[in-house]
Structure 1
Amino acid sequence: MELASATMEIEGNNPFGGRSYLLPPPSSSSSSSSSSSYKPTSHSFLSTSLFDIGILKDTLLPSLALHSTLATAAFAIGSLTNRLETKDWLWPAGQVINAWWSAIGRRLVHDGASLKSALAALSRPERLILAGVTLWGGRLFARVARRTITRGTTAATGGAKNEGMGDDPRYEVTKREPGFWRKALWTVYLPQALFQTVVTLPFTAPFHHQGGSVKGYSRMGQALAVGVFCMGFGLESLADWQLDGFKERGKGEGGVERGMCREGVWGVVRHPNYLGDALLHLSFPLMLYASDMLAPIELLGPIANYLFLRFVGGDKENEYNQARRYSAENVTKKVDFDRYRREENSFWPDFNHLSSKWTWMVLGCGAAGATAERVLSEIFA
């Protein structure tokens, strides 16, 4: 009875419901109860230590095992088809799979919950985070898939010469290194799995634990988190759309691109898509903090994502491959590429671009998204 009383008191302090209660494990006598009344039993209070042993056992190690397994499968497919781009397919897909497993899948498998009851058990912040991860990963996965299919179709019809069976041209020089595929699992795929394990912390750990005692939440903070997500999602989508349009219009004779895209948001920074991705991932711990659900270790997620984008598989890798490819295949574009690097920042815009209409359009995306989410939450509350 004391436990039930405590459960009601904790749940009553949470305006969202769904995760701030503490229930005992189901006994054998209650195992036959309907899954429609399912409530998760694994939410215990999380220590604020960055090295909490609980989060290591039930979040980090299972995540590492999942991402390593997926990375090994992607490596096997990549080595058989000579496509290094399989790692790009896996980057969004693996993170979405992990988020859904943590939020829903483990409850279906281990607790016997129905899909409907597992979804209903999520709080509003949890639903927003899961929806955000799914939107981000789904859009990026679709883009990588469309890019691959387009190259494969072009190569099959004789419209392009591509030694990688339609692989991303950025990786052709890399794959020519002696014994590349013999070591790629250890030098490319598994290191990426390690990064994914840390990057996914803000949208895996919260479904296992609470980030401290639930005392309240901040509407303004949640609106800020939604706004930052919409800014990042809008910037990333706009950058990809403008780049595709430029490539379609900017080809000269023989389908060779004449120069670098400097239109729209590409005139603000050299990698607006990566900046959008970084903002988007920052929004998840912001939402957790505003909802009184943040554990310090979850801050490592956007930090790891930023480091990966800047120094591992993002702009550093991209520009290194661009420089080598343009030097060998398109000297005119290499000259324009060098000029572009001198004149525009790689990742963060400088103050001169604060007056750019594209900067204000991205900010407008954030404001519109935050407003729309707030209105919809009031309507469907």
Structure 2
Amino acid sequence: MSLAWLVRMRAGQSGWIDAIWSAATGLAGFSVALTPASSAPFGRRLLAAGLVLLWSLRLASHIFARTRGAGDDPRYAALAQEWGADFPRRLFVFLQIQAAAALPLVASIALTARAPRPFPDFFDIAGLFVAATALAGEALADAQLARFRRAAPRGAICEIGLWGASRHPNYFFEFLFWCAWPLIAFDRSGAFPQGWLALAAPIFIYWLLAHVSGVPPLEKHMRATRGAAFDDYARRVNVFFPGPRVNLLAPRSNGRRRNR
């Protein structure tokens, strides 16, 4: 993240920060997954390494492609305006906090790779299915948004496909990906109780995306730039978890039962 800080200061584009964080977290997770462990089946270590590598390559390459030729990320631009002349120093500290934020994720990968039960079993397959669904869903959400932006007028709000079921489907599928790790780490025999600690990954990433650095600053920017159009969209579409839209035209009950 020190490298990410240097790139941001030289290039003036904050998108590189998230790309470098994704690549660095993936490299760390890949390394700990393949670290030799006598009690862990090699197949599970290989599964963990492969999943985090796919996640990292997809996310980092997507952010790299999006950043090239684009302006500054609105979240970091808001911080630059808020911090003023102290922005370089405060950004450096902020990025070291981001580096620390990767620790629960990498620790969950390490725990998952070291689950000692025979490989493969039901939980390995279930975890693989959840991770594959999440990676495909996040890639689809990103592709739908990119396609919309190429065709829609500037300032329009994407409401096609997955974006009509959640205001942040890419964040939801990112959270879903990390739900795969405690599934694979789980040992129903009780011989590996520390596997439950892998729950730290989905819990932490949900808190981070839904309440800290994901949804709140992005929606603040959307409200500032889209105004009433975004407020209308927010009233009709769930913020994080995909689900049916709210029908604003449906009659509301007054709470009293009607006699038949």
TM-score of the aligned structures, taking structure 2 as reference length? 0.82
Aligned equivalents of 1:230 and 1:100: distance in 2?
Answer: 17
Aligned pair count reads: 238
Cα shift at 1:137: 0.9
Aligned equivalents of 1:199 and 1:308: distance in 2?
Answer: 12
Amino acid at match of 1:224: A
Describe the superposition over 1:4-51 as per-residue Cα deviations: whole angstroms up to 9, x where unpaired: xxxxxxxxxxxxxxxxxxxxxxxxxxxxxxxxxxxxxxxxxxxxxxxx
Amino acid at match of 1:311: H
Q: Any idea what SS the aligned residue of 1:204 has?
A: helix
Amino acid at match of 1:295: G
Match of 2:43 among 124, 138, 157: 124
Q: 1:204 to 1:215 in 2, by over 3 A?
A: closer
Cα shift at 1:237: 0.7
Match of 1:204 among 110, 115, 120: 110
Which protein is bigger by CA-based radius of gyration? 1
Q: Any idea what SS the aligned residue of 1:295 has?
A: helix
Q: 1:238 to 1:143 in 2, by over 3 A?
A: same
Describe the superposition over 1:282-334 as per-residue Cα deviations: whole angstroms up to 9, x where unpaired: 1022112169765232221221111111122211221122223x0xxxxxx32
Q: Does 1:277 align with 2:174?
A: yes
Cα shift at 1:170: 4.3
Cα shift at 1:132: 0.9
Residues 98, 204 of structure 1: 8 Å contact kept: no
Q: Does 1:184 align with 2:91?
A: yes
Unpaired segments of 5 or more residues in structure 2? 246-260
Cα shift at 1:85: 2.4
Residues 127, 180 of structure 2: 8 Å contact kept: yes
Q: Does 1:103 align with 2:3?
A: no
Q: Does 1:306 align with 2:213?
A: no
Q: Does 1:194 align with 2:100?
A: yes
Match of 2:3 among 54, 69, 73: 73
Aligned equivalents of 2:66 and 2:72: distance in 1?
Answer: 9
Cα shift at 1:218: 7.2
Residues 171, 321 of structure 1: 8 Å contact kept: no
Residue 113 of structure 1 corresponds to none
Unpaired segments of 5 or more residues in structure 1? 1-70, 108-117, 152-165, 327-332, 354-381
Aligned equivalents of 2:6 and 2:174: distance in 1?
Answer: 28
Aligned equivalents of 2:109 and 2:126: distance in 1?
Answer: 18
Residue 217 of structure 2 corresponds to 317
Residues 44, 119 of structure 2: 8 Å contact kept: no
Residue 174 of structure 1 corresponds to 79
Residue 145 of structure 2 corresponds to 243
Residue 82 of structure 1 corresponds to 12
Q: 1:35-74, aligned counterparts within 5 Å?
A: 71-74=1-4
Deviates more, 1:290-299 or 1:88-97: 290-299
Q: 1:206 to 1:276 in 2, by over 3 A?
A: closer
Residue 363 of structure 1 corresponds to none
Cα shift at 1:206: 4.5
Match of 1:296 among 180, 187, 196: 196
Q: Does 1:221 align with 2:123?
A: yes
Cα shift at 1:263: 0.5
Residues 19, 64 of structure 2: 8 Å contact kept: yes
Cα shift at 1:180: 1.8
Cα shift at 1:223: 2.2
Q: Does 1:263 align with 2:168?
A: no
